[in-house]
Amino acid sequence: MSQIQELHKQAMDLAEAAFTVKLRGNLEQANQLSQQAFEKESQAAGLIANQLDAEPTRSVLHRSAATLAIDCGEIVIFVTKCFQENY
């Protein structure tokens, strides 16, 4: 499994765990798990950011990272990263 696929899988596992604990009412732990999921998905998106021939995977990873960034309140950080030259 490639590094990108592994990071994405880890991110989705964390996001699912965050959803589950949020349903149980543990918002603090849900936010921590969402933050970890965002970090993993952001790393995966960053690894593929300059591979324009990797569509639609590239766009899906970026959309997923953006959604996780919104979930954990890190959207400003993610958007800033996307516009940095060495993303």
- Domain edges within the chain: 3-82
Q: How far is 50 from 71, CA to CA, in rounded Å?
A: 25
Tokens 């989705």 locate to 12
pLDDT above 70: residue 1? no
Q: pLDDT tens digits for 22-40?
A: 999 999 999 999 999 999 9
Query: Out of 18-32, 51-65, 69-83, which region has the weakest mean confidence (pLDDT)?
Result: 69-83
How confident is the model at residue 27, as a pLDDT? Answer: 93
Q: What is the chain's mean pLDDT, rounded? A: 90
**Dihedral Cα 25, 13, 42, 67, nearest 10 deg:** -50
Please tell me the total number of residues recorded for the chain in this structure: 87
Q: Token pair of 28, please?
A: 């603090």
On whether the CB atoms of residues 17 and 32 are closer than 8 A, the answer is no
Read off the pTM. 0.83
